[in-house]
A = this chain, B = another copy of it.
Amino acid sequence: MAFKTVRGMQDFLPERAAKKKWIEDTCRRIFESYDFVPLETPIVEEFGLLAKKGSGGEAIREEIYYFKDKSGRELGLRFDLTVPLARVVATNPQLARPFKRYAIGRVYRYDRPQQKRWREFTQADWDILGSSSLLADFEIIAVAIDVMRELGFKDSEFKVNVNSRKLLEEIALCCGVKKTKVVECFRCLDKLEKIGKGEVEKELKEKGIDTQILGQLEIKKLEQLKVKNSAPLRELQQLMWLLKKNGLEKLVEIDLSLARGLEYYTGIVYEIKLKDGPSVGGGGRYDKLVEAYGGRPTPAVGCSFGIERLLDSLEEGLKLEAKTKVFVIPVGEKAVEPCVKIAAKIRKLGIGCELDLMNRGIGKNIQYADKKGIPFVAIIGEKELGGEVLTLKNLKTGKQRKVKLKDLPAIGKIVEQK
Contacts and interface: CB of A to CB of B under 8 A. Distances in A.
Interface of A: 1-7, 9-14, 17-18, 20-21, 32-35, 37-46, 48-49, 62, 65, 67-71, 73, 75, 77, 87-88, 90-92, 95-98, 100-101, 106, 108, 110, 120, 128, 130-131, 133, 135-136, 138-139, 142, 146, 242, 245-246, 293-294, 323-324, 336-337, 340-341, 344, 347, 350-355, 357-359, 368, 371-372, 374
A53 to B, nearest CB: 13
Contacts of A5: 41-42, 45
Nearest to A301: B357
A39 to B, nearest CB: 6
Given A3-B87, A7-B73, A49-B3, A14 B37 contact: yes
A34 B358 contact: no
B75 A242 contact: no
A1 B53 CA distance: 13
B34 A353 contact: yes
A75 to B, nearest CB: 6
Contact of A245 (B101, B142, B341): B341
Contacts of A6: 42, 44-46, 73, 75
A14 B41 contact: no
B352 A32 contact: yes
A331 to B, nearest CB: 15
7 contacts: A2-B294, A13-B92, A33-B350, A35-B324, A96-B372, A130-B358, A245-B337
Interface of A is mostly: mixed
Contact of A9 (B20, B44, B65): B44
Q: Which 4 residue pairs spanning A and B have beta carbons closest together? A: A67-B67, A35-B354, A14-B37, A9-B42
A73 B5 CA distance: 12
A350 B29 CA distance: 10
Contacts of A35: 323-324, 352-354, 372, 374
Given A11-B42, A246-B341, A90 B3 contact: yes
A21 to B, nearest CB: 6
A244 to B, nearest CB: 10
Given A5-B42, A34-B347, A43-B120, 10 more contacts: A11-B42, A12-B38, A14-B37, A33-B350, A35-B374, A96-B368, A96-B372, A139-B355, A142-B344, A245-B341
B17 A38 contact: yes
Nearest to A327: B35
Given A4-B91, A6-B46, A110-B70, A131 B39 contact: no
A325 to B, nearest CB: 10
A112 B381 CA distance: 55
Contacts of A75: 6
Contact of A3 (B3, B21, B91, B347): B91
A138 B276 CA distance: 52
Contacts of A136: 357
A138 B343 CA distance: 13
A391 to B, nearest CB: 20
Nearest to A337: B245
Contacts of A368: 96
Contacts of A359: 133
Contacts of A246: 340-341, 344
Contact of A46 (B4, B18, B39, B139): B4
